[in-house]
Structure 1
């Protein structure tokens, strides 16, 4: 299946998806049929901060129209934060959307996690990863939540993490583990750049979970309907 990705939100996240999909298909001996539409990180962040998922859904729908015109048969958003408008986008989309939420639910259930810690944007954290049901979700508390949100957006725009940001996120993850999390979910796709080194506790990259499902759909080994 020809997959269309909404990328560029941010650039580092897009590379994570592209690399994971390329490797997965190559290892399976399959050809990857992929087109990427480059969205605007700052525009998405502005709509997220303004609480306007409706506006962002219209923007994403236009990118999906472009992907469909290019021959794509299903679409995915390469940003956990970008899923803040997923419910508004679904009725506007000209292609079926492979969502990260059912992908995460399936993964958490399969691994048997009881409690998961999450870091990402404010929307991701406050929504408990947009309503994931397979595990209890805990997030940073008080001022820590806003600090995680702000630092994450900084990484997303820069497509890189400073040593101070890396230390900050590793410490925040440790707090979640100390509060009872079995694993810390990187609920922001760009967080992978802050966790290139082992932080000393279990982590689960939501981008890689999502990409694995997209890859299975691309190779016709899973149905889009199961992850819509």
Structure 2
């Protein structure tokens, strides 16, 4: 939901439409860009009820403006995905679904999950992957979760990409692999700014890229 990852979503969706339709074609999009400082304050205070009201209101505005599907461009705020879907009449394209489907199709079963502390520690994301796609989801230990979370909020959402932090993520991912993870889910849409497929010894599944691909497919 930071503009750093929103810009990547916009680019990836438009590239998909251009590649599929050719010429000067681009995506018909409505984008609502939050002030992320407001969202982060609600997250930090644990006021998920207020955050849900914000998300529902915006989804309804986008639907009223003509949107035929809603995409929440963040993993963490899928905590209120069910509430948003219940408040609108168009589909919400859940970020976990294209990820889970591709992992399942790849024949993998045990995956590591990186993301904000909210995504790693609450069950809304892991349970969906388990129930819909039969995946066993591992999360880092408490110290590694704190490091992953800190780097997202103190660096990535502010556009800071530091080699030292890449090394931290490499270590976290390797420790998940040592525990049996067959792949790693980059479960925060800013992580792709820091980590590449060469930074792990197992496949990486980039939620932002797969979610943007699902959104682009909806437009074709």
Higher strand share: 1
Structural mapping, 1:38-77, within 5 Å: 38-77=33-72
Provide the C-alpha distance between the structure 1 equivalents of 2:211 and 2:166, rounded to a whole number of angstroms: 23
* Matched residue SS, 2:144: helix
Partner of 2:149: 149
Find the aligned partners of 1:101 and 1:199 in 2 and give their Cα distance.
Answer: 22
Corresponding residue of 1:102: 97
1:93/1:36 Cα in 2 relative to 1: closer, same or farther (>3 Å)? Answer: same
Query: Equivalences for 1:57-206 in 2 at 5 Å?
Result: 57-93=52-88, 95-127=90-122, 129-131=125-127, 132-133=129-130, 134=133, 135-196=135-196, 198-201=198-201, 202-206=203-207
What is the Cα-based RMSD across aligned positions, in Å?
1.9
**1:143-183 deviations in whole A, cap 9, x for unaligned?**
22122222222234312322222221121111111211111
Counterpart contact for 1:155–1:191, Cα < 8 Å: no
TM-score (norm 2): 0.87
- Give the CA deviation at 1:53: 2.3
Alpha carbons 1:81, 1:124 under 8 Å: kept:
yes
Q: What runs of 5+ residues in structure 2 fail to find an aligned partner?
A: none
Q: Retained in 2: the 8 A contact 1:73–1:96?
A: yes
TM-score by length of 1: 0.84
Structure 1 runs of 4+ with >4 Å offset: none
Deviations 1:8-41 (A, max 9, x none): x211211221122112111211642111111122
- Cα offset, 1:196, TM superposition: 4.1
Q: Which has the higher helix share?
A: 2
Whether 1:20 aligns to 2:12 is yes
Distance (Å, rounded) in 1 between the aligned partners of 2:4 and 2:77: 14
In 2, Cα distance between equivalents of 1:193 and 1:23: 18
Q: Aligned residue pairs: how many?
A: 211
Whether the 8 Å contact between 1:61 and 1:89 is mirrored in structure 2 is yes
Partner SS for 1:113: coil
